[in-house]
């Protein structure tokens, strides 16, 4: 795709973007988020689940909502929710080859933690292909889609938005990158599982989504071949 010929910075979200939702990895995280909210607030599961989803919608992440409304310690939360079995993520040699062919820097930009990102990347077999992981701690716990999060990432990494492309599984997280001048790609790996997540992932028809794909590796191969 000649539309990506100027891109030298390749920015990837982590969960349900670099690995397919069929791994069901985020299902584990989702359940542990609900459990943490229930234990922290002393509420029943259903109330905790409803709060978890409302905080995600209103504050960008459940963690941010808990920090704002309940003065929660983010580090304890991150450690708990990412204490999961990563073995469901399989090695992805085609994805690795496609990422390796991309010219320039590659980075992971996640609302999760570095430790979780590193565990996922190791399972996929792509750790050595990335220059950096910009996690929620590096963003001072301000999550995507807040504009401040993107500007902090740009300042800390030296990314030129006009020469960058961003890949995300949640459309609203692409609005600010688009406004900043990045190429935006929505990775729709959830399929029929999207409704179970109880979140609005977007359709791919949003004006700030340049491209949409259901197969990240295949899409990247069209860029480099």
User: pLDDT tens digit string along 141-166?
Assistant: 999 999 999 999 999 999 999 999 99
Rounded Cα–Cα distance for residues 210 and 187 (Å): 11
Domain co-membership, 50 together with 105: no
Angle of helix 93-101 relative to helix 216-224, nearest 10 degrees?
A: 30
Q: In DSSP terms, which residues pair with 184 in a beta bridge? A: 166
pLDDT of residue 3: 86
Domain co-membership, 218 together with 152: yes
Rounded Cα–Cα distance for residues 74 and 68 (Å): 11
pLDDT of residue 49: 95
pLDDT of residue 26: 85
| Coil vs helix vs strand at 144 | coil
Q: Is the peptide bond before 18 cis (omega within 30 degrees of 0)?
A: no
- pLDDT 10s digits, 90-123: 999 999 999 999 999 999 999 999 999 999 999 9
- Of the candidates 34, 57, 81, which is a domain's last residue? 81
For residue 187, the domain's CATH number is 3.40.50.1000
Domain co-membership, 58 together with 121: no
79's enclosing H/E stretch is helix 74-81
pTM (global) more than 0.95: no
């Amino acid at each position: 795709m000649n539309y990506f010929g100027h891109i030298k910075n390749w920015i990837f979200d982590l969960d349900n973007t670099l690995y397919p939702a069929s791994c069901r990895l985020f299902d584990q995280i989702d359940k542990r988020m609900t459990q943490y909210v229930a234990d922290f607030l002393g509420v029943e599961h259903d109330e905790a689940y409803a709060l978890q989803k409302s905080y995600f919608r209103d504050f960008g992440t459940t963690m941010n909502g808990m920090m704002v409304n309940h003065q929660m310690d983010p580090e304890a939360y991150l450690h708990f929710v990412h204490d999961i079995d990563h073995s469901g993520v399989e090695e992805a040699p085609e994805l690795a080859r496609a990422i390796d062919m991309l010219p320039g820097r590659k980075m992971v930009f996640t609302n999760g933690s570095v430790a979780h990102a590193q565990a996922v990347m190791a399972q996929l077999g792509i750790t050595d292909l990335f220059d950096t992981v910009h996690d929620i701690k590096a963003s001072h716990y301000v999550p995507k889609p807040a504009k401040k999060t993107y500007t902090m990432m740009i300042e800390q990494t030296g990314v030129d938005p006009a020469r960058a492309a961003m890949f995300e599984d949640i459309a609203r997280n692409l609005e600010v990158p688009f406004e900043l001048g990045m190429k935006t790609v929505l990775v729709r790996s959830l399929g029929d599982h999207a409704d179970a997540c109880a979140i609005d992932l977007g359709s791919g028809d949003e004006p700030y989504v340049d491209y949409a794909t259901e197969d990240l590796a295949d899409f990247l191969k069209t860029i480099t071949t």
